[in-house]
Amino acid sequence: MSSQRVHAAQHTVTVAAPAGVVYGLLADAPRWPVLLPPYVHVERIDFDGTEESLRLWHLRHGQVCSALARRVLRPRERRIEFDLQEALLPGAPTSGAWSVTADGDGRCLLTLRHERPAGPWETSGALETDVHSELAALREAAERWDRLDELLLSFEDSVYVSGSPELVYDILYRIEDWVDLVPHVERAEVTEDQPGVQLTVLHTCAPDTGERLVSEAVRLCFPAAGRIVHKETVTPDPVAAHYGEWYLEPDATGVRVVSGHQVMLRESAVETVLGGGALLVDARRYVREWLGRSSTEALTMARWHAESAVRRLR
C-alpha cells in the first residue's frame, strides 16, 4: 500500500463577479499565465468541446513544475472536473472539481474540492496556503472583469530573416549573450538547472528616460517547435503581468521571427510612472512603445546574427 500522504479539502470563496465570468476564467486555461501569477505557460493538447488535455507549467515553492491535466468542462452546471498529474509526484494524481454558483446580483460562490498528494517537503499548512493563494488570485482576476478590456493588451512585432531558423533560435536562446548585442540590455543572469527551463534576471535601460529597470522571468525553450515562451515574475511598473513568446515561421528562403506579448497593466501605478492625470490609455501606449522597441532591438539583432553567418559561409 502506498504511503503517499493525501490532502483532501473543500474551499469556498465569495467573488464579486457574475458566475458566468468566473466560469469563463476557469475554462480558458491558456489565458492563465497573464491572469494568474503562478502559471508560466499552459498548452492545450487537445479539446473536443467537453474534454480537454492540458500541459501546465507553474511556479511552486520557487521551482518550475510541470503537470498534465485532463479536464471535463460542464458549462451548464458551471463545473469543471479535473485530474492533474504532477511530474514531481509520479503515480499520485490530484483530482477534484471547480464549481461556480450564483449568489445574488453580480456575485457568485467559487468552490474548489480536491484531493491532492503532499510532496515530501510539504505540510498540510503549506498546501492550504497554496490553495488559498490560488483562490485569491482567481478572485482578484475575476473581480476586474469589467476593466479587462482596458487593463489587457496584446501585440506582436516581427522581422523576416534570410537565414537559417536554427541560427535565429540559437541567439534567442542564448539570452546571456544579449549584453553585447542588444542596446537596452546592460546585464543578464541566467540559471538553467532543468534543460530548456531558464530563470533570468535582466538589467535594462529604458530608452526614453534612461531609467534602469530589473525584470525576472521564467523562459521555456522548445527548440524542435522553434518557440520560446516567457513569463515575467518580477515586472517594472506599470506592468502587473507580462507573458510572451518568440516563435519562428520558416519558409523556403528564410524565416519570419515573431515576438508576441500579453500584458496586464497595474492601474494603481499609472500616475506614478507617467505623471498626474495619466490614464490607462496613456499606459497602454507607453507599454506598447516600450516593449515594442525592446522586441524590435532583439529581432534586429537576431536577423543580423543569422544573415551575417550566411554571408560568412558564402
How many C-beta neighbours within 10 Å does residue 3 have? 4
**Count of all residues that appear for the chain in the document:** 314
Q: Which residues of the chain have pLDDT under 70?
A: 1-5, 87-92, 117-127, 206-210, 309-314
Does 75 sit behind a cis peptide bond, omega within 30 degrees of 0 on the bond before it? no
Contacts of residue 126, defined as CB under 8 A and 6 or more positions apart, other chains included, come to: 61
- Give residue-wise pLDDT tens across range 163-182: 899 999 999 999 999 998 88
Amino acid 208: pLDDT: 62
Amino acid 90: pLDDT: 54
Amino acid 313: pLDDT: 46
- Identity (one letter) of the amino acid at 179? V
Q: Are strands 51-60 and 39-47 parallel, antiparallel or unpaired?
A: antiparallel
* Rounded Cα–Cα distance for residues 121 and 161 (Å): 48
- Give residue-wise pLDDT tens across range 23-77: 999 999 999 999 999 999 999 999 999 999 999 999 987 889 999 999 999 999 9
* Rounded Cα–Cα distance for residues 244 and 154 (Å): 9
* Rounded Cα–Cα distance for residues 124 and 102 (Å): 30
Question: What is the overall mean pLDDT for the chain?
Answer: 90
Q: C-alpha grid cell for residue 257?
A: 521571427
Contacts of residue 105, defined as CB under 8 A and 6 or more positions apart, other chains included, come to: none
Q: What are the beta bridge partners of residue 158?
A: 258
Q: C-alpha grid cell for residue 97?
A: 472539481
User: What global pTM score does this model have?
Assistant: 0.90
Burial 222-247 (b: 16+ CB within 10 A, else e): eeeebbbbbbbbebbebbbbbbbbbb
* Rounded Cα–Cα distance for residues 75 and 83 (Å): 18
Q: What 3-state class would DSSP assign to 246?
A: strand
Amino acid 259: pLDDT: 97
